[in-house]
Amino acid sequence: MKSRTSLFHGLIAAALLSGGVALAQDAPAPAASSAMAASSSSSATYQTPQGQVVVNSVPAPAPTIAPAPDFKQLAGGGKSISAEQADSYPPLANDFLNADTNKDGKISKSEYERWTKQLQ
């Protein structure tokens, strides 16, 4: 009798698990409507149960970066550029840790020249 009970419980557990898996399946993706834009365009229109959805897909414009200022200008006449001084040129401030190759907390003239060559 005990083996029948555990067999019965095992069958119930298997039925519940397989039923849960069947219910958990994703709904199929909505098909594109006939108003879908041409493939050369950057938008598409889809009909969903909630209504019509227009998807516009355009890559972001490339950022424009001003030319790197002169080392003397950033260093304020000193021998190195500190993190605070680098804030006046956002690309350098953003990449300060990479430009500071010897990790001494400041950028020397040679480090700055090496970093500006990477921009080109």
Q: Phi and psi of 109, rounded to 5°?
A: -60, -40
Total structural domains within the chain: 2
* Domain limits for position 95: 71-119
Q: Is 10 domain-assigned?
A: no
Are residues 52 and 75 both part of a single domain? no
The answer to whether 106 and 80 have CB atoms below 8 angstroms apart is: yes
Residues 77 and 52 in one domain: no
- 3-state SS of 22-44 is HHCCCCCCCCECCCCCCCCCCEE
Domain identity same for 79 and 49: no
Would you say residue 14 lies in a domain? no
Q: Is the pTM higher than 0.75?
A: no
17 in Cβ contact with 11 (< 8 Å): no
Q: What is the pLDDT of residues 34-57, one digit of tens each?
A: 444 344 568 889 999 999 999 888
Asked if the structure places residue 115 within a domain, the reply is yes
The answer to the question of residue 97 being in a domain is yes
Please compute the mean of the pLDDT values over residues 68-79 and round it to a whole number.
93
Flag whether 24 is in a domain.
no
